[in-house]
Amino acid sequence: MKILVINGSPRGENSATMHLTRAFLEGAGWANAEIIDISKSNVKGCTGCFSCWEKTPGKCVINDDMQHFLPKLIEADVVITSFPLYSCYFPGQLKNFMDRMIPIALPFMDKNAESGGHPLRYDLSKQRQFYISTCGFWTADGNYDSIIKLFERGRDSVNHRAFSIFSGQGGLFGVPELEEYTKPYLDAVSKAGKEFAAGEISEETQNVLAQTILPREIYEQGADESWEVQENA
């Protein structure tokens, strides 16, 4: 089985989200997962030339790391996209990566897509998708609405279900002194990985993952005090 992790954090392997991703991989038993670290990669923005649809079907004319990444993406059995939430959206480098996936699609209109769309060039119906993300707010609720809509729009074309772990209080995971608070959550993420590898994540585990680590007032006070600037500066 080929497991591909797309690490979309500008902070690379040391990001808070990768703490969750490693726990998930450990629980799933996927130590052999290949990790694409976009922060260390050369992925230029799409120019919108559509050469990959007309002149060189299925192949982007930009000669950078996406030439190597796209085949891995197509061949993977499981694709895990790991990213922090910046300004209620993806980091820019991950957006470049996603824009450059257009060669996977065909130029023709998909008559079965309710709002319009393009059929895929390859059969990815058996590929499983998982998204892991952290944000700096006290909760994930309400902060991932635009991301969820995008994922729902994208998977309509491949007819498969995507799963996700979205967590607030992301800054806690990289602080060793707070391990007594973050470890139970990471244990639940690891359990989710084990369950996902075997089938689907249980409702019990999902309920645990939906809980916040610290009460809002405690988290937000600590977050405010962590900045070395005055509120009115």
User: pLDDT tens across 141-174, in order?
Assistant: 999 999 988 887 765 455 456 789 999 999 999 8
Per-residue pLDDT, 159: 47
Instruction: Find the mean pLDDT for residues 117-132.
Output: 92
Per-residue pLDDT, 231: 66
Q: What six digits make up the tokens of 3?
A: 């497991």
Cα–Cα distances in angstroms (integers) from residue 99 to residues 25, 73, 93, 116, in the given order? 26, 14, 10, 17
**Mean pLDDT of the chain, nearest integer:** 92
Angstrom distance (rounded) from CA 203 to CA 179: 25
Closest CA to 27 of 218, 227, 203, 187: 187
Measured CA angle at 220 (ends 172, 135), to 5 deg: 50
Backbone φ and ψ for 42, nearest 5 degrees, come out as -105, 95
Percentage of the chain exceeding pLDDT 90: 79
Q: What six digits make up the tokens of 221?
A: 């006070």
pLDDT digits (tens, 9 = 90+) for 57-90: 999 999 999 999 999 999 999 999 999 999 888 9
Those residues with Cβ within 8 angstroms of residue 116's Cβ, 6 or more apart along the chain or in another chain: 109, 110
How many whole angstroms from its chain centre is CA 116? 24
Check whether 15 has a pLDDT greater than 60.
Answer: yes
Instruction: Find the mean pLDDT for residues 47-53.
Output: 97
CATH architecture for the domain at 3-225: 3-Layer(aba) Sandwich (3.40)
Check whether 229 has a pLDDT greater than 90.
Answer: no
